[in-house]
Amino acid sequence: MTPADTADRQAAERTGGAAAQSGADQRSFPWQDRPAAVQDAVWRDSRNPIIARRPMPGIQGIYNSAVAPFGDAYVGVFRTEDYNRFPHLRVGWSRDAIEWKFESDPILFANQDHDPADYAYDPRVVQIDGVYYITWCGGHNGPTISIARTEDFRTFERMDNAFLPFNRNGVLFPRKLGGKYLMLSRPSDDGHTPFGDIYLSESPDMVHWGKHRLVMRRGGGEHGQWWQRTKIGAGPIPIETADGWLMIYHGVIDTCNGFVYSMGAAVLCKDDPARVLYRTNRHLLTPDEDYEVFGHVPNVVFPCAALHDEATGRLAIYYGAADTCTCVVYSTVDRIVEFTKANSTVF
């Protein structure tokens, strides 16, 4: 990092989470208006990919990553891959959530010995009661949901894994419900899982997880939902709205040329998020642009984070494109909820 980048990081650290909560920060929310020609409910940033191929020395790609407000800046936990394609998590900093400066080393956990780190990918970040939690898919004799906590994004403490292998796409809710932490996840297998439904689990202490409930199933031919017929997985941290929890997710179809990952949305009951109220019966975003169609894994849009500006309702959704680079689409919470209600099939 350059001295200027370090200054960004230090400014963020000085103000910590407090400024983020007070709204007194100097962050600039990422945004572009919807181009007149676009009719869709979400629209791409014209600067995509905002994190292009080979974004820093020794790193071939950064994608499927999480960002969050922190102090008077933004912080991110990024999936970075070096030239052996082994995925790590790495912290990055930004004032505008578009231009990112990355730490030179991957995250090292303070209690590394407790459970040595293996591969780590597809992180999500959430702040709950002043503490930031990171969930990701970690290697522990197969993939499952790893968790760590931090307050400053400099020291990270590994916690116990939420679930047994095999599981992916662990996504925490931003607050407790009925005194319990809630996590969405997608039980899977040890490979490129050809199935997958979204479940909800709860925990009194972020260590012991139970009361697992099925939230929603993949599409299947019987439902006519081909874009999400193979598997589905939660994406960004759910957003609380007047209508319920807005859950943005990925849906996958298997084709003769491999999987195609698209993005959809659902609204879950506010008090009982295992209950789906609305669910998109068509995708919100599917690989169309060259950077989504061409890359190390073609035809992937994989959302992992969303920034929400509560004052305006604006939403910036971050997604990995083609397992190669990082992109943003914009919308508003109201527009996506409206779209979800108007194009809904719950099954």
Q: Does 127 bind ligand BMA (CB under 6 A)?
A: no
Total number of residues binding ligand BMA (CB under 6 A)?
A: 10
The single residue listed with the structure tokens 């999936």 is 79
Nearer to ligand BMA, 293 or 297 (CB): 297
- What is the x/- site pattern for ligand BMA, positions 43-82, by CB under 6 A? ---------------------x------------------
Give the interface segment with ligand BMA, choosing from 123-131, 262-270, 297-305, 326-334 (CB under 6 A).
297-305
Q: How far apart are CA 120 and CA 82, in angstroms?
A: 13
Q: Cα angle at 187 between 288 and 216, to 5 degrees?
A: 65
Written as one string, the DSSP assignment of 111-143 is TGGGS----EEEEEEEEETTEEEEEEEEESSSE
Q: Does 286 bind ligand BMA (CB under 6 A)?
A: no
166 preceded by a cis bond (ω within 30 of 0): yes
Q: Does 170 bind ligand BMA (CB under 6 A)?
A: no
In three-state secondary structure terms, 61 is strand
Residue count of the chain, please give it. 347
Q: How far apart are CA 11 and CA 71, in angstroms?
A: 7
Q: Which of residues 16-45 bind ligand BMA (CB under 6 A)?
A: none
In three-state secondary structure terms, 334 is helix
Q: Does 122 bind ligand BMA (CB under 6 A)?
A: yes
Q: Does 302 bind ligand BMA (CB under 6 A)?
A: yes
Q: Which of residues 184-203 bind ligand BMA (CB under 6 A)?
A: 192
Nearer to ligand BMA, 20 or 328 (CB): 328
Q: Of these, 123, 245, 323, 326, which contacts ligand BMA (CB under 6 A)?
A: 323
Q: Does 15 bind ligand BMA (CB under 6 A)?
A: no
Written as one string, the DSSP assignment of 187-202 is E--SSS-S---EEEEE
Residues of the shown chain interacting with ligand BMA in the complex, contacts defined by CB under 6 A:
64, 121-122, 192, 261, 297, 300, 302, 320, 323
